[in-house]
């Protein structure tokens, strides 16, 4: 199973973890690492490396981060570039994290990447568009007479 490390600025990671626990329950091989204002990139790197060894089963590890170019993303990227079977996905939202975690047993690291990006994009919408979808005629497979 793919290991997952969730990280982001402030309490992003622990907030996502709390939401995950409420909605889908405890997940194996998942660690959440916050990056509070008083932390350093050196400390974050140490936390990432420790978490990596705890979640890595040999199938691969995915870092899910909050912000492209931020310290959690850059630190995870340095680790990913030095190892095999590691991916960094950024711009994460709750829908992406939950759906990806629930499907990861069936996914390779590349499939996980594609799936989570599609899920994250699908979760970004607005009420107006969702209402418009609900008013569109539903497609059926019935031939009808």
pLDDT interval class at 58 (50, 70, 90): very high
Q: Does pTM surpass 0.85?
A: yes
For 77-101, what is each residue's pLDDT tens digit? 999 999 999 999 999 999 999 999 9
Mean pLDDT, residues 101-107 taken together: 93
**Residue 144 pLDDT > 70, yes or no?**
no
Superfamily of domain 3-135: Phosphotransferase system, mannose-type IIA component (3.40.50.510)
Where is pLDDT greater, at 3 or 136? 3
pLDDT interval class at 134 (50, 70, 90): confident
Cα 104 to Cα 134: distance, rounded to the nearest angstrom:
30
Pick the closest to residue 12 from 64, 59, 56 (CA basis). 64
Q: DSSP letters along the chain, please?
A: --EEEEEEEBTHHHHHHHHHHHHT---TTEEEEEE-TT--HHHHHHHHHHHHHHH--SS-EEEEESSTTSHHHHHHHHHHHHSSSEEEEES--HHHHHHHHHHGGG--HHHHHHHHHHHHHHT---HHHHHHHHHSPPP-S----
Where is pLDDT greater, at 134 or 91? 91
Mean pLDDT, residues 110-129 taken together: 94
**What is the residue extent of each domain of the chain?**
3-135
pLDDT interval class at 114 (50, 70, 90): very high
């Amino acid at each position: 199973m793919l290991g997952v490390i969730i990280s982001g600025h402030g309490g992003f990671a622990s907030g996502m973890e709390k939401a995950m626990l409420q909605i889908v329950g405890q997940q194996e091989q998942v660690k959440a690492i916050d990056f509070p204002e008083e932390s350093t990139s050196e400390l974050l790197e140490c936390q990432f490396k420790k978490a990596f060894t705890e979640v890595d089963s040999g199938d691969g590890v995915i870092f899910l981060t909050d912000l492209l170019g931020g310290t959690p993303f850059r630190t995870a990227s340095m680790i990913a570039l030095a190892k095999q079977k590691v991916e960094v996905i950024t711009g994460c939202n709750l829908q992406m994290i939950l759906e990806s975690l629930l499907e990861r047993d069936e996914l390779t690291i590349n499939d996980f990447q594609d799936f989570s990006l599609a899920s994250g994009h699908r979760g970004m919408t607005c009420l107006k568009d969702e209402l418009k979808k609900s008013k569109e005629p539903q497609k059926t497979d019935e031939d009808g007479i």
